[in-house]
Structure 1
Amino acid sequence: MGNIQEKMNRIIDNIETVFIGKREVAEMLGLTLICGGHVLIEDIPGVGKTTAAASLAKSIHGSYKRIQFTPDVMPADITGFSMYNQKINEFVYYEGVVMNNIILADEINRTSPKTQSSLLEAMEESRVTVDGNTYELPKPFMVIATQNPIEFLGTYPLPEAQLDRFFIKTQIGYPSLEMAQQIMRTYEKDNPLEKLRPVVEIEDILKMQRDIKEVYICEELVEYILKLVNETRRHPDIQLGASPRCAIHLMFAAKAWAAYAGRDFVIPDDIQKFVIPVTAHRLVMKQQVAEAKGSEEKVLNDIVKKVGIPVKIYEKK
């Protein structure tokens, strides 16, 4: 797995030249990409969400589009549309923004549920259907969606079905004073994003997506993941627990982190690292609990403590 480790470090180091001081977020983006997943970033404006998405696309030599979601954005803006062409006497498909490797769905909760749902097929099956015709999306394909955690006026909360399609939910947060000074100096005279160059190619990403499937995870750790997910369905504070898709995503996140660490096998720490990022946004807490900030994280930490790690020392067989 040294090849994945070396290329992932190359991508993340490159992103860090413009997305400064947030290596862990860059790692989450990179690892989600090689898992074939999508990311939801919930954070305030101005902390670098657009920079992170654009720098990832540039680093892998991929195509990139940003769409600002507003109530008047239509599904056809996302998926594309067919229009009759009189010259050739047939309908022609005009591509929407999804026909790119990486798309930034900015403030996704500001558009209507109908437009939000236009992303569901693309996120799950990497294709779109327009007027009965199906079009495959470019590979790799990744949605990086953002939403503001504070402002709720004029927003449409994402339904559980759509939240469940996001591999990871993360936050960026404010930079430290030292990092803020570095950011200001870096952007003082020009935008370094404009000078960013690719460090890997699309073919490298596709190969990494295939390679992480070969990372070994023993049956005991598969069972450990299932026990963690099952506990979310039984916890008294949780109204709706994690789905089977969550268990699959947690397994692949652990595999990707193992490969990034230079291992070809998963250990319990790999799983525990991603329990909150992969699971928290999929939970629906009971009303009396949901009002407490960070209730999902607290409950998940309790579940991790409750579900014992298998005692056996795991090695690749």
Structure 2
Amino acid sequence: MKQPPKVVVLGSINMDLVCTTEQRPEPGETVLGTGFTMVPGGKGANQAIAARRSGAVVEFLGAVGRDLFTPRLRQVLTDSEVGAARLRSVPGSSGVATIVVDNGGENSIIVTPGANARMTELDEADLATIAGADILLCQLEIPIETVTAGARHARAHGTTVILNPSPVRELPAELWREIDVAVVNSGEADRFDAALDQVPHVIITRGADGADYRGPDGDLHCPSPKVRVVDTTGAGDAFTGALAAAWHRGPEQALAWACAAGALAATELGASKSIPDAGSIAELLDDPALNPGSDR
């Protein structure tokens, strides 16, 4: 049996407060909701869970506060078999995302960073965890200085760096130099534009239209499987985590795997709840041999 890839996720973990409504409110408008649920989320945690369910061995580096959400946020990682030994506890509140989802599955999100904003440094154990991984997967819901330090250490030790630069903000040139793979949506691609030219592998997600890839060996497009969309929250995170788990198989297979994971994630309400496992992804692709956790 091949050893599964080791993925370290350096990122955020939040409690998602999800309201459903027929139509999202316009500025100054009040609308009635049709449902409410609390679901652990955060781009970092979602991507970590997605990578684990796709077959990788995953460690999570992040922070929670000291509030009523903390036990459940820790539990979702351990229940998902994501390593949480490096999940630190800091004073104050945990991260919270307030999400409104309409009948079409589209969403509006407000993220309050909380403890994620206090993930301001990496200790020796964190750095050793990064150095021992095959892939470091990062986003931008924690301080950029911390992401840059993690990426720099990863590059120095031969760990592949995958960055999902979301939410969009200005990035230092030093961070761009450390990135091996960038995963962006079409809007982010337009925003970063020329900066992406220095990244060896660039993947642009296009929702229901799949994803595009450009790299040293050329370009390719991968269509998205057709599914019934319920909630797009977390679909991008499912895509990115699955991509990290399958990256060792090469861009073409990794892209197909990620597109299937993203599509399946949109079929259920709630980000972490909707993330598919490897068996479901392989079944949708009708090719069990693509399963990163498979013996085949």
Give the alignment's TM-score, normalised by structure 2: 0.32
Indicate the structure whose relative CO is greater, using CA pairs within 8 Å and at least 6 residues apart. Answer: 1
Give the alignment's TM-score, normalised by structure 1: 0.30
Larger radius of gyration between Structure 1 and Structure 2: 1
Which of the two has greater helix per residue? 1
